[in-house]
């Protein structure tokens, strides 16, 4: 049975039935069904258990059990998101999605709407692109969009590495340096977790550590997990586009494989996120989610899923001390 999870919180949207038709309120022991504000995840609550249905714009949805979550002392590890939590970069990547859509449309003046933001951040590249295709250019394919996306990404990342890139693309979050050093002083393992593909995530991490004068991130973090390498014609790729947040696998792999922490010790691990998709990912992996302000947690209705929610790292540190 889950604990400290509010599946009927005010931010979640009540449903009569799961969108795939698999469950209905009042039938087969289902007490209530809710979904997140972005429609990506639905929760089916029974008397003594709950499951989550993760939708997929790419045609591969999945069901996951919800495990009990709590924070036990002493803590062993802290898992942290990259975009929006460790580094403020979401607007840069949304800009790349915007440029990609503009290229698909052949219209350099194209701009995304404010209402698009929850659907073009926090998930996989392909899911972001599929959303834009469905809304703005339904005659295009995800494969076409990915070609443009990586063309723009490679160009802009090269510009940034050469010192000519978009100003303010990657800005370390306020207080992150002090927070990370405090975690080290507490003797905790630290894992960095991102749904970003390696080629976009690694330059971002390097840039942030350079700005913070913190040396090589490989020497600092105990594990870094990205969404892997993109599949391109004639080149091998790695799993990452169909299994990112809000699926549990990135966080699960960081803790179990990267840090060597077995599932039965999961209550001594916490995850920190600024996005609704990330909060669900931590939750489904069996860890206690700590939300931090600045992202879309409140807008996505997932604040009630957080074990704790703080506006900044000072408040988070008090929860961990």
The CATH number that applies at residue 316 is: 3.40.50.1000
What value does the mean pLDDT of the chain take?
93
Are 154 and 177 part of one and the same domain?
Answer: no
Helix (H) or strand (E) holding 291: strand 288-292
- What integer pLDDT is reported at residue 103 of this predicted model? 98
Per-residue pLDDT averaged across 103-107, rounded? 98
6 domain-assigned: no
| % helix, strand, coil for the chain, step of 5 | 35, 15, 45
- pTM of the entire structure? 0.88
Residue 4 belongs to some domain of the structure: no
CA separation for the pair 280, 58 (Å, rounded):
19
Residue 70 lies in a domain: no
pLDDT band with cut points at 50, 70 and 90 for residue 4: low
Within a domain: residue 295? yes
Tell me: pLDDT of 318 over 90.
yes
Average pLDDT, integer, range 277-287: 97
**251 shares its domain with 316:** yes
Boundary-marking domain end, from 119, 136, 161: 161
Residue 208 lies in domain:
77-88+172-320
Q: Provide the domain count of the chain.
A: 3
- What's the pLDDT band for 2 if we cut at 50, 70, 90? very low
d(CA 26, CA 103): 48
Candidate from 21-30, 117-126, 194-203 with smallest mean pLDDT: 117-126
How do residues 55-98 score in pLDDT, each as one tens digit?
998 899 999 999 999 999 999 999 999 999 999 988 899 999 99
Kindly state whether residue 71 falls inside one of the protein's structural domains.
no
**34 belongs to a structural domain:** yes
CB 128 within 8 A of CB 120: yes
What was the pLDDT predicted at 160?
81
pLDDT at 29 > cutoff 60:
yes
Closest CA to 193 of 241, 254, 237: 254
Q: Does 96 fall in a domain?
A: yes
Which of 161, 191, 212 terminates a domain? The answer is: 161
Last residue of one domain, picked from the residues 108, 142, 161? 161
The yes-or-no verdict on residue 112 having pLDDT over 90 is yes
Extract the tokens encoding 9: 């919180």
DSSP H stretches of helix in the chain: 90-105, 125-136, 142-161, 176-185, 198-212, 217-220, 249-253, 276-284, 313-320
Helix (H, G, I), strand (E, B) or coil at 213: coil
């Amino acid at each position: 049975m889950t604990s400290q999870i509010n599946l009927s919180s005010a931010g979640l949207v009540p449903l009569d039935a799961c969108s795939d038709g698999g469950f209905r309120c009042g039938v087969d022991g289902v007490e209530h069904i809710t979904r997140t504000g972005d429609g990506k995840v639905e929760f089916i609550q029974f008397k003594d258990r709950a499951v989550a249905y993760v939708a997929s714009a790419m045609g591969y949805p999945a069901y996951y059990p919800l495990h009990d979550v709590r924070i036990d002392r002493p803590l062993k590890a802290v898992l942290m998101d990259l975009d929006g939590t460790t580094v403020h970069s979401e607007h840069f990547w949304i800009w790349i999605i915007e440029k990609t859509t503009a290229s698909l449309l052949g219209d350099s003046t194209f701009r995304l709407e404010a209402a698009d933001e929850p659907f073009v951040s926090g998930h996989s590249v392909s899911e972001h692109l599929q959303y834009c295709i469905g809304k703005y250019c339904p005659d295009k394919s995800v494969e076409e969009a990915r070609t443009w996306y990586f063309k723009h990404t490679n160009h802009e990342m090269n510009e940034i590495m050469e010192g000519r890139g978009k100003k303010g693309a990657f800005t370390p979050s306020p207080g992150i340096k002090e927070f990370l050093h405090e975690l080290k002083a507490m003797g905790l393992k630290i894992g960095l977790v991102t749904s970003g593909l390696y080629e976009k995530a690694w330059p971002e991490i390097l840039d942030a550590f350079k700005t913070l004068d913190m040396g090589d991130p490989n020497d600092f973090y105990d594990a870094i997990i990205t969404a892997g390498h993109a599949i391109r014609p004639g080149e091998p790729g790695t799993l990452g586009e169909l299994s990112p947040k809000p699926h549990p696998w990135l966080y699960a792999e960081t803790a179990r494989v990267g840090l060597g922490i077995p599932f039965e010790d999961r209550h001594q691990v916490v995850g920190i996120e600024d996005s609704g998709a990330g909060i669900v990912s931590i939750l489904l992996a069996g860890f206690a989610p700590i939300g931090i302000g600045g992202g879309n947690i409140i807008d996505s209705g997932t604040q009630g899923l957080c074990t704790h929610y703080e506006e900044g790292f000072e408040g988070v540190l008090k929860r961990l001390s």
